Each structure stands twice: as structure tokens, then as C-alpha cells.
Amino acid sequence: MYTVHQLAKIAGITRRTLHYYDQIGLLQPSRLGENGYRYYDQDALLRLQQILLYRELDLPLEQIREMLSSPKFEVLAALENHKAELLKRIQRLQRLVLTVDQTKEHLQGKRTMSDEQLFYGISEEQQAEYEKEARQMYDPAVVNESNRRWKSYSAAEKKRIGEEGEAVYRSFVQAMPHGPASPQAQASVTAWRQHLQHFWSPNAEEMLGLADLYNDDPRFKANFDGIHPQLAAFMREAIRVFVSK
């Protein structure tokens, strides 16, 4: 049997987290001691492991509680599912690491990458995650319409749109020596805004929000850094100039 302090140390979480899990009925102690201490047995440890594994997969606590409380829940089956999902993430991250390494060599002149290779590893799965987050940040109706538009395109159209986007980002890199307020950079912003019409029609405030997202979200920042380390920052400055006109 473990106390809250002992279990928190083993699991690498805080005591406050365990108290909160008890409060919401997600993980209750196996028994309460006469001194009022909470004690956890092996079954509780296995349940906590499931909770933390599901949290690694970004499931909300309420959904986790419902799943673990279901009479159909089976630990071994759940572990197999965890393993499958984690392997998918490992494979995707390995692809992204490869893309980052190859892009570094490309910028150092040690190898040549095609435009398509610059975006290797940015999967449909990741796009789905971006969509999920977009629903929380923007009007769901706008996100739904954007998603509908994208799914309506054929494979050839998606390829063309992707190539168009790559050309837009390359144009920003080419405009860097001239500064964010230069005609070249402002033409790139115009092309970028036009490219976004394939998905949605952002207003000035939303354009600025996207520029901040490119810089502040580590995943977006990593994608832009793979093209050029200063691309995201340069785009934000150029977009700010564009919007201020």
C-alpha cells in the first residue's frame, strides 16, 4: 500500500493531482487509514497507469473516467491500444526528426531536398490535431467550412495547393534580405492571404492570430524552422506591416 506522497513520487505527478483525481472520482484511494491518510494498492496503481497513458494521448479526464468505469473496459486490450497509438507517434516523430536533420544538411549545402521532402512527416494525423485545436480557437462554423473545403478537393488539387503553399513560403525566404516592409515581402503576404482562400477567408485580426500561432506553437515553429530558422518571425513582421496599412 502506498500513501499519496509515495505514489506521487513513483508516478512522477504531484500530490495535488492525486487529490484532484480522488475529488472527481477518477482515482479513489483503496482505503482510508484511521489517521485519515489515503492508501493505494496495486489495482489503484494500474488504474493510475491507465489514466496517465490516456493523458499522454490527450484524452480529457471526463472521457477517461467514463472509459475506465465501463464494464466493457479490459486492461490488456487497453494496453495494446496504447502501444499501437504510441508506436504511431514514435514513427511520426522519427519522420519529423529525419526531415529536420535533412533540412539542416540542405541549408548547409550537404544535400539537396525536393520541395515535397521539406514537408515529409507532417501527416494527416497532425492536420487533424490542428483542426481540433482550431475549433477551440476560432468559430467552429469557420473551421467546419474550412474542413469541408479541404475534403472536397481531389488528390491532384491537394497536391497543387500544397505546391502553391510551398512556393509562397519560399517567396518569404527570398524576400528576407529586403525587409518585412519591402514590396517583395508584402507581395508574399498578398500571395499567402490568397493561398488561404483555399481553406477560409481570414480577416486582419485572424491573420495576425495565425502569424502569432506560427511563432508561439512549437509544432508550427518547428515546421517553419525546417524551411528557414527566421521564416516564422519574418512572416509575422511582414503580416503586421500588411495589416497596418
Q: Tell me the C-alpha to C-alpha distance, in Å, between residue 92 and each of 13, 100, 123, 207.
A: 27, 12, 8, 29
Helix intervals (H) in 153-201: 155-175, 183-196
218 or 17, higher pLDDT: 17
Q: Is the pTM of this model over 0.85?
A: no
Please state, as a whole number, how many other Cβ atoms lie within 10 Å of the Cβ of residue 206.
Answer: 16
Q: Is the model's pLDDT at 95 over the cut of 90?
A: no
Please state, as a whole number, how many other Cβ atoms lie within 10 Å of the Cβ of residue 198.
Answer: 17
Per-residue confidence band for 201, with pLDDT thresholds at 50, 70 and 90: confident
Q: Is the model's pLDDT at 142 over the cut of 70?
A: no
Measured between alpha carbons, how far apart are the two ends of the chain, in Å? 66
- Mean pLDDT value across the chain: 83
117 or 243, higher pLDDT: 243
pLDDT of 39 reads 92
Closest CA to 20 of 57, 42, 56, 51: 51
What gap in Å lies between CA 54 and CA 75, rounded to an integer?
12
Closest CA to 128 of 114, 141, 143: 143
Question: What would the grid cell of residue 15 be?
Answer: 500530490
Question: What would the grid cell of residue 100 be?
Answer: 529536420
Closest CA to 215 of 193, 231, 200, 239: 231
79 or 136, higher pLDDT: 79
Q: Is the model's pLDDT at 240 over the cut of 90?
A: yes
Q: Is the model's pLDDT at 214 over the cut of 70?
A: yes
Q: What is the mean pLDDT of residues 107-112?
A: 78
* Residue ranges covered by each domain of the chain: 2-73, 123-244
What gap in Å lies between CA 103 and CA 97, rounded to an integer?
10
For residue range 152-182, list pLDDT tens digits in order.
888 888 888 888 888 899 999 999 999 999 9
- CATH class (in words) of the domain with range 123-244: mainly alpha
Instruction: List residues bridging with 3 in a β-sheet.
Output: 39
Q: Greatest CA span in the chain, whole angstroms? A: 76
CATH assignment of 2-73, among 3.40.50.970, 1.10.20.10, 1.10.1660.10, 1.10.3720.10: 1.10.1660.10
pLDDT of 98 reads 77
Closest CA to 28 of 20, 36, 50, 67: 20
**Using an 8 Å Cβ cutoff, are 196 and 242 in contact?**
no
Polymer length in residues for the chain: 245
